[in-house]
Amino acid sequence: MATCIWLRSCGARRLGSTFPGCRLRPRAGGLVPASGPAPGPAQLRCYAGRLAGLSAALLRTDSFVGGRWLPAAATFPVQDPASGAALGMVADCGVREARAAVRAAYEAFCRWREVSAKERSSLLRKWYNLMIQNKDDLARIITAESGKPLKEAHGEILYSAFFLEWFSEEARRVYGDIIYTPAKDRRALVLKQPIGVAAVITPWNFPSAMITRKVGAALAAGCTVVVKPAEDTPFSALALAELASQAGIPSGVYNVIPCSRKNAKEVGEAICTDPLVSKISFTGSTTTGKILLHHAANSVKRVSMELGGLAPFIVFDSANVDQAVAGAMASKFRNTGQTCVCSNQFLVQRGIHDAFVKAFAEAMKKNLRVGNGFEEGTTQGPLINEKAVEKVEKQVNDAVSKGATVVTGGKRHQLGKNFFEPTLLCNVTQDMLCTHEETFGPLAPVIKFDTEEEAIAIANAADVGLAGYFYSQDPAQIWRVAEQLEVGMVGVNEGLISSVECPFGGVKQSGLGREGSKYGIDEYLELKYVCYGGL
């Protein structure tokens, strides 16, 4: 657990005016160069018309460190994935800025840990209330920088805010224990204490919710954070910083250091190896997670990680076809297939296979509409970038070359740019890339199987295990399969499983620890045993 010796020797009094009751007023700054004035409507329109009219206070481009908006020596562009247009130039932080952010978080931790649980709860609740009040603007920011359909972006903002609400309540429920030992003159106590500064590294596909799911728990526990958002979607993290400041979250408790893809590796390494950081929380690829684990190992930091998945979606002969298709649509095509719990391979039993494929194809043609996320009726926005499109295209071409049949879709969409047609493949075999490589796109490959044992063997062959889904009306089968699937989360006759009240996380190479739920706050707490003798 982090200690505060350095702070005591370096002037803790500097923090006195930034804790509850003494709100910091950050300088104005939006989608303009860091040295320029607050943007007016005309300036905003020249960056991206879709963001015109939003509160200038929410459109930030500088880093947020120690309660101040700070420019960096360089900037990097953030683009709208639907059009390729530049949304704005954002501070491109480097190692120096990263270390300064950790130092600010460490200073703040030594005071924040002493703030009462009730006060931390109250501040998180204020932050939640501000998110709800600004939900429309926050949703538009998500759609602009990630391409996510606006309706889904609104859903993410509510989901994101609910984590702050949940952990505002959990902050007051951090309980210890009293243990009666064999010795009559002793009592044993177990205390739970905040671990220290947490480095939080988040992905682009849920640019708001992945922050609050981690940060809400950390702040509730009494920790402080340094957030490095994905280079594709920094505006959401910076907007959250503005609202945190408005809510009265003390300076240095929540810090944000955006950086370009070019600087991401060195910035990630800097915050993950800094001796003042006690905890790393990361959501992203398994490959990157392994690198961060190496960084954490040198100083034995606490780590929680939500990594890649290869979610199986199994449809047994006893399943209700309409129900299974509805679940498949929800699970596969949310955020255009760009979620870590999206179904990656569909295993359908022989007796129901043809009926399911036919109904699935019809549902896709009827209900999916590709377009700009801001357009009314759009259900499928763009993929995040050209590289993502190339990956889906490669998987489709590989499958077709090995005998798969394209039922619908199969190619880049006529809208061009980063759009790809929602695609359904049948006659898929296990030697195809799409069955053992996470897609992160609108591709649904269907594998036909004969027995329950075969389906479970295929599903469990992966070296990852985040989520899994299956449809069955057989109670005995439901119990068997739910227990045998090697995943951290199982949807039984349900395609959407995420909820703030439930633990989110995986097994095998899909990660470590759990987020959300009553268990999420434990990731930011240390247990301390106290033996009280002489009674």
Indicate the domain borders of the chain. Answer: 63-307, 311-498
Q: What is the dihedral of CA 250, 253, 259, 261, to 10 degrees?
A: -150
Specify the 3-state DSSP secondary structure of 199.
strand
Q: Which two tokens stand for residue 418?
A: 């980063």
- Which residues touch 331 (CB under 8 Å, ≥6 apart)? 311, 313, 341, 342, 343, 469, 491, 495, 496
CA distance 466 to 488: 5
CA distances from residue 91 to 77, 235, 354 in whole angstroms, order as listed:
9, 11, 53
Side chain identity, residue 364? M
Sign of the alpha-carbon dihedral angle for 80, 84, 89, 95: positive
State residue 14's pLDDT score.
Answer: 31
- Which residues touch 9 (CB under 8 Å, ≥6 apart)? none
| pTM of full prediction above 0.85 | yes
CA distances from residue 198 to 91, 124, 180, 224, 439 in whole angstroms, order as listed:
22, 17, 34, 6, 30
State residue 49's pLDDT score.
Answer: 57
First to last CA, the chain: 29
**Residues 283, 286, 289, CA angle at the centre, nearest 5°?**
60
CA distance 357 to 243: 46
Specify the 3-state DSSP secondary structure of 322.
helix
pLDDT, tens digit (0-9, with 9 covering 90-100), for 43-101: 322 334 567 778 889 999 999 999 999 999 999 999 999 999 999 999 999 999 999 99
Q: Which two tokens stand for residue 231?
A: 């280079």
Active site residues: 306
CATH topology of domain 63-307: Aldehyde Dehydrogenase; Chain A, domain 1 (3.40.605)
- Which residues touch 457 (CB under 8 Å, ≥6 apart)? none
Residue ranges for the chain with pLDDT beneath 70: 1-50
In CATH terms, the superfamily for domain 311-498 is Aldehyde Dehydrogenase; Chain A, domain 2 (3.40.309.10)
